[in-house]
């Protein structure tokens, strides 16, 4: 039996150099229920919704050779504001031994 899992990632994408900064796209203030003006440059909303408990682990490119780190147990849904300065990787587990594919 496979439980439905919704994994959504909303972010402002920005390009910059020493002299200029420009938005690549502007969907407006809200995207669904998300207030995008609450995000700073290089931040994103991570929204996970599930009908059974899962365990969220994360890893960033900032830490070379680090293991995935436990972040949170998700019972139904979770919305996190995360930094996107470095590449991000996520793993979801049903328990401590079974990864959700």
pLDDT (tens digit per residue) in 14-56: 443 333 334 456 667 887 788 888 888 888 888 888 888 999 9
Q: Which residues contact 63 (CB under 8 A, 6 or more apart)?
A: none
Q: Which residues contact 56 (CB under 8 A, 6 or more apart)?
A: 48, 70, 71, 72, 73, 74, 78, 90, 91, 92
pTM: 0.65
Burial class (CB in 10 A: 0-12, 13-18, 19+), 54: buried
Using an 8 Å Cβ cutoff, are 97 and 61 in contact? no
Does 13 score more than 80 pLDDT? no
pLDDT (tens digit per residue) in 62-83: 888 899 988 889 998 888 888 8
Sorted by where each begins, the domain ranges of the chain are 5-93
């Amino acid at each position: 039996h496979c439980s439905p899992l919704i994994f959504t990632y909303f972010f402002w994408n920005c390009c910059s150099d020493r002299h200029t900064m420009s938005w690549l796209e502007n969907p407006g203030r809200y995207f669904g229920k998300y207030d995008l003006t609450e995000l700073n440059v290089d931040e994103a909303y991570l929204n996970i919704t599930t009908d059974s408990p899962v365990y969220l682990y994360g890893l960033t490119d900032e830490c070379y050779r680090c293991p995935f780190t436990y972040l949170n147990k998700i019972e139904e849904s979770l919305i996190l504001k995360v930094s996107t300065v470095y590449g991000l990787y996520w793993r979801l587990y049903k328990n401590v031994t079974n990864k959700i594919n």
